[in-house]
Amino acid sequence: MNLLEGKTALICGVANDRSIAWGITRAFHEAGATIALSYAGEKLERRVRPLAEQVDCDFVENCDVSSDEDIKQLFTKVKQKFGTIDILVHAIAFANRDDLAGQFVDTSREGFLLAQNISVYSLIALSRESKDLMPNGGSILTLSYYGSEKAVPKYNVMGVAKAGLESSVRYLASDLGPKGIRVNAISAGPIKTLSASGIKDFRSMLNTFPSLAPLRRNVTLEDIGGAATFLASDASAGVTGEIMYVDAGYNTVGLSLLEKDEG
């Protein structure tokens, strides 16, 4: 399928081949999009360049989203190379590891502001820059998680950040809708990425999830890539301000009594 033929996508947040951003990149490439990538920190360049080659991408730029300077430079280079873009993917989050371990009540001011800065404000800043490069309209996508609306043990300060992120999606959609720019989030089920590997008990989350989710399995990078392709394409032209769950149905069920009669 060539849903994204003729479209250019700037994808921010590839760290390695397990990143959700990489799953989205592969899906966009298969759908015919031209790809531009940004990563955070020179250490990652070594990992991201070879991945970029796999999708015929020769635009790979460093951008730490805590730096206004980095963001400005990224978009200057995007403008030089592509002129305009059609799609922005924001797949970036960060909180102090300690804040994802103890109790939420112990969150420091510094830890709170860090999580909001990297995980929420960055979407606003990247969207502002993107809108000037989207004269023909466009699609902006970010990644959220269920911990935004329910208190998930240990997700803590990131849960509050994701609540802010989802709210930002609605406000950005409201601002940019008149320009034909849509803004949506995918709320993904748990996936074992670099970010997740730092989390104690993540493995037991992945092991338990299939018994609770209607589809009886974990979600894959391909699941997220498919939904992202839809939201980035004109097939979703009437959808904006939306939080789309790609979680094997997990968020839709209440009491889960484990039953033996599967099938």
Binding interface with ligand 0WE (CB under 6 A): 93-95, 97, 100, 145, 152, 154-155, 158, 190, 195-196, 198-199
Give the active site residue among 145, 146, 245, 250: 145
Query: Does the annotation mark 155 as catalytic?
Result: yes
Partner from ligand NAD, ligand 0WE, none contacting 155, C-beta within 5 to 8 A by type = ligand 0WE
Partner from ligand 0WE, ligand NAD, none contacting 40, C-beta within 5 to 8 A by type = ligand NAD
Q: How many CB atoms lie within 10 A of CB 104?
A: 16
Dihedral sign, Cα of residue 155, residue 71, residue 82, residue 169: positive
Residue 189 DSSP label: P
Task: Report the distance separating Cα 20 and Cα 219, nearest Å.
Answer: 11
Partner from ligand 0WE, ligand NAD, none contacting 239, C-beta within 5 to 8 A by type = none
Q: Any alpha helices (H) in 188-220, and if so which ranges? A: 194-197, 202-212
Task: Report the distance separating Cα 171 and Cα 258, nearest Å.
Answer: 40
Largest CA-CA distance found in the chain, in angstroms, rounded: 59
- Binding ligand NAD (rule: CB under 6 A), the pick from 101, 163, 196, 239 is 196
Query: Does the annotation mark 250 as catalytic?
Result: no
**Interface residue list for ligand NAD (CB under 6 A):** 13-15, 19-21, 40, 44, 64-66, 91-94, 118, 143-145, 188, 190-191, 193-196
Active site positions, annotated: 145, 155
